[in-house]
Structure 1
């Protein structure tokens, strides 16, 4: 974590100038960067990108630049509004490990990624490409144009047919799209409470009756409070009530590319059926 390596400069003029238009108060950013844990990755031109900072329910992407043993904050943006910036640095974001998550590979090996598959928050496409390679008809969606461009390039290179779209999962009710299977590897846990409820409603509008959502999110069993929100079992179950049935909810792990290398982080793998 960066605050273990650098003293972060408190520059009130810079903070006021940089963050006023983003609706983030300088005091909130200082508190987050100085006092809260997060993960970080190298950015462009000597910068470091900080992920996992949460202020008032908003996830922020903060960029700092090292100056000797100090680090100066140069920008902070709402992560959803600037999601594409996650994919434009010199290194990929922590969740983009260049291969499918092991839990999703197991699902594919068991023949569960079948029919019309929708991969929400598909990133650079590894899960969508995995499902398509097993014979599924796949659509992958992500907010990031850069990630989608990378996913399309991978599909062309591998000779795999996937429909990749730049889209917001919360807009699903307005789209004429029906899925038999939904993959959510790390989307559910990025929303605040209000958007999380909208997201579940959006899933219900798209997943056919009897269809399955395979959902992975951070677990409350993961120590610390960096990164996305961690969910208890009862919280996860409470998010899917009327019209949903949990077929299983098991402890699993995410692989994340953190500063110390690829690290396993405790997660939930939920198998949820649309009634």
Structure 2
């Protein structure tokens, strides 16, 4: 059977497009998830040694958000922390990372600032456009790619190089569509200009972003044809899993498993049913453990809170409770 097409299912894409069309983004902070920021810039081994990451504990990082909406390219980058104790708990410094449900791309920008190559996938085209513009402002577009796709429909073997190719295809399709529209309208579209700029930047950075194992050099045809490693070293999922779980429980877990390389790490932030009437869809601890009981190892599972947004503050009166998990693919 052929791999499914990575394009989003129409009814699912329409649902999320409607959120952007209405400007109603209750989850949107404009910044990288504070839990991801803390994980990459602090020592999680110390958290574990102090017993801070248990299911009955509440661990809410007090880290400053890193926004792609306001941060100029010359802004000081956060400092990655890796020590002998926590190195086994973190993805390789120059590895390939994926964020599913990437939204405005701030978490991908953080990953790129800290040395990773970051791919973002979102079902909403408006999110992908916003993410591309955000990483360009942050000065890390050369280490980020963004594709519009239904995560559950990503093909087998999806990896950094596959994300690059898919983004290029989508940019070319967008350019063709806009060129057709320009034949009927005077003046250049700002989005086309941004697209052309992004394509040039991608080309200039191609040698930087490619895996050393798969990069072509000196016209070596064998190297050009070498197959990249499937999967990613790290997957970040901030508020996507509980949506995918409602849509297809088995498919959601299987997708995360095949998107990670063996030994790869998954950071998961999902709704917590201990506060079922506040915030996004929720899951119980038992449901999470049952979902990841085979082929996974829980490094930790603790409680946290989603970062504050105007909707959470003004409408809910507090930040919704979350499960924060780090899992290793076996």
Which TM-score band applies after superposition, normalised by the shorter structure? 0.5 to 0.7
**How much has 1:165 moved relative to structure 2?**
0.7
Residues 1:123 and 2:55 are matched in the alignment: no
CA distance in 2, matches of 1:259, 1:252: 15
**How much has 1:191 moved relative to structure 2?**
2.9
Tell me, what secondary structure is at the counterpart of 1:124? coil
Residues 1:168 and 2:143 are matched in the alignment: no
Residues 1:248 and 2:300 are matched in the alignment: yes
- Map of 1:108-147 to 2, 5 A cutoff? 108-110=40-42, 111=81, 112=90, 114=93, 115-147=95-127
Alignment match of 2:31 (pick from 93, 99, 109): 99
CA distance in 2, matches of 1:191, 1:132: 25
CA distance in 2, matches of 1:211, 1:219: 24
**How much has 1:78 moved relative to structure 2?**
6.0
- Map of 1:49-68 to 2, 5 A cutoff? none
Q: Tell me the residue number matched to 1:7.
A: none
Residues 1:239 and 2:294 are matched in the alignment: no
Q: Tell me the residue number matched to 1:209.
A: 262
2:123 touches 2:148 (CA, 8 Å); kept in 1?
A: yes
Could you list the runs of 4 or more consecutive aligned residues of structure 1 that deviate by over 4 angstroms after TM superposition?
A: 77-80
Shifted more, 192-201 versus 241-250: the winner is 192-201
User: Cα–Cα, structure 1 residues 154 and 168, in superposed 2: closer, same or farther, change >3 Å?
Assistant: same
Q: Tell me the residue number matched to 1:188.
A: 241
Alignment match of 2:16 (pick from 66, 78, 83): 83
Q: Tell me the residue number matched to 1:33.
A: none
Cα deviation digits, residues 98-156 of structure 1 (max 9, x gap): 11221121112134464210000000101111111111011000001001001000111
Alignment TM-score, normalising by the size of structure 1 = 0.66
* Higher helix proportion (structure 1 or 2): 2
Q: Tell me the residue number matched to 2:271.
A: 218
* Higher strand proportion (structure 1 or 2): 1
Tell me, what secondary structure is at the counterpart of 2:248? helix
Alignment TM-score, normalising by the size of structure 2 = 0.56
- Segments of 5+ residues of structure 1 without an aligned counterpart are 1-76
**How much has 1:232 moved relative to structure 2?**
1.3
CA distance in 2, matches of 1:146, 1:176: 22
Cα deviation digits, residues 158-217 of structure 1 (max 9, x gap): 211311111111023435321000000001111355612101111111201110000000
Alignment match of 2:135 (pick from 155, 174, 177): 155
CA distance in 2, matches of 1:254, 1:153: 24
Tell me, what secondary structure is at the counterpart of 2:304? strand
**How much has 1:239 moved relative to structure 2?**
0.5
Looking at both structures, which has the greater relative contact order when contacts are Cα pairs under 8 Å and sequence separation is at least 6? Answer: 2
Cα deviation digits, residues 33-58 of structure 1 (max 9, x gap): xxxxxxxxxxxxxxxxxxxxxxxxxx
Count of matched residue pairs = 197
**How much has 1:230 moved relative to structure 2?**
1.4
CA distance in 1, matches of 2:28, 2:290: 29
